[in-house]
Structure 1
Amino acid sequence: MEKAITVKQINGTQLINVTVRSSDPNVAAAIDNAVVRAYTLQTFENRAHSVAELRTWLSSQMDDLKNHVEVAQAKLTDFEEANEVVGTPGASNTISDRLHFLSERLSTLQSERIEKEAQMRAASGEVQAN
């Protein structure tokens, strides 16, 4: 006797193929619908669980970033105090402006270096392949 119910996942997809063998079409339809409902519910629960895990992970990442910002702010305050950097809120501060400019320039140069390094690796990979 053949199996009454066969469920196979379609390769490379989340789709399933459900085959129900029964002499009564109403029973076959009811079984088929029950299997599809169960699969749908399980898929929904799996996704809900994944979203909950992602939310927890993102929350911890946000907490870490907040901590890093607080530490960086404290270090900046310590630096300003140690080097007698005086600034008034909202007013232009020459030292602060210069540090900001240098920080932006450093970021730009690092970005350009990474880009040129990637181009160099790509070019040397092409040479090695030929």
Structure 2
Amino acid sequence: MYDRRLVEHLLPAVWDQEAAYGIRNLQAPDADMPKGTADPKAASALFAHLADIRQGWATAPLSIGERQALVLRYGADVSDEEAGGLQGVTDRAVRYRCERGVGKLAAHLNGHEYVDGYADFEA
């Protein structure tokens, strides 16, 4: 299941193919831990998540303003004030567009319809 945190974590990989190398696998042990036995059933879903986020970006029902705000924040790492200046809106509007865009994207990836609100989804 995709939540807001995971979507925000994966979004930079939509625009930067090499960003996947910097994404930490949340299920993997720390690098300084000794090697143990590998369980193929508990393998990482990181590459499936990366494929899903790219496909979801292309097909999610996002508005132009939401897409622009997400590209500026997660793709170009631009501050809300700068993004607002580029979009002709306030920094608060940029934060709202990003919040709503991430929520819509998470709902789309989970196969739910987005309900306007912080973390509410319609089952």
Q: How would you bin the TM-score normalised by the shorter chain?
A: under 0.3
TM-score (norm 2): 0.23
Bigger proportion of residues as strand: 1
TM-score (norm 1): 0.22
Bigger proportion of residues as helix: 1
> Looking at CA atoms only, which structure, 1 or 2, has the larger radius of gyration?
1
